[in-house]
C-alpha cells in the first residue's frame, strides 16, 4: 500500500472467514493504514465493527441499507444492542 498513488483502501468483507482471534489484529492494521489514507470496509459481520468501536472510537462507522425501490440510505451505525432494540420496536409497530 505504501507505494500506491491512491490515498484510499477498499476492502470487501475481510473478516468473513477469519478466526475471531485475528479480528483485533486486522483492526490494528486498518487503524495504521488510516493514518495517511481513507479506509473503507464493507462487511455484514459485527465483529469488525465491534473491534473498531473498542480500539478506535473516533472512527466513523456507517450502515448502508437498500430499501424499497433500491433507495439507498446511509446512517451512522449503532451498537448491535441498540439496533436489536430498534428492530424489535419496528416489528411491534408493523401491522
Q: Using 50, 70 and 90 to split pLDDT, how confident is the model at 1?
A: low
Q: pLDDT tens digits for 2-50?
A: 777 888 999 999 998 888 889 999 999 999 999 989 999 999 888 999 8
What is the rounded CA–CA span in Å between residue 84 and residue 89? 9
pLDDT value at residue 16: 87
Q: Domain boundaries in the chain?
A: 8-93
pLDDT value at residue 5: 82
pLDDT value at residue 86: 85
Out of 5-9, 70-74, 80-84, which region has the weakest mean confidence (pLDDT)?
80-84
- The Cβ-side half-sphere exposure at 49, using a 13 Å CA radius, reads 16
What is this structure's pTM? 0.72
Helix, strand, coil % (nearest 5) of the chain?
Answer: 45, 20, 35
Amino acid at each position: 500500500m505504501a507505494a500506491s498513488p491512491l490515498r484510499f483502501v477498499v476492502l470487501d468483507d475481510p473478516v468473513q472467514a477469519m478466526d475471531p482471534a485475528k479480528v483485533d489484529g486486522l483492526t490494528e492494521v486498518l487503524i495504521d493504514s488510516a493514518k495517511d489514507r481513507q479506509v473503507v470496509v464493507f462487511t455484514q459481520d459485527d465483529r469488525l465493527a465491534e473491534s473498531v468501536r473498542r480500539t478506535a472510537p473516533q472512527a466513523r462507522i456507517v450502515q448502508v441499507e437498500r430499501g424499497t425501490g433500491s433507495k439507498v440510505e446511509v446512517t451512522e451505525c449503532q451498537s448491535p444492542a441498540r439496533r436489536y432494540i430498534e428492530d424489535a420496536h419496528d416489528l411491534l409497530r408493523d401491522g
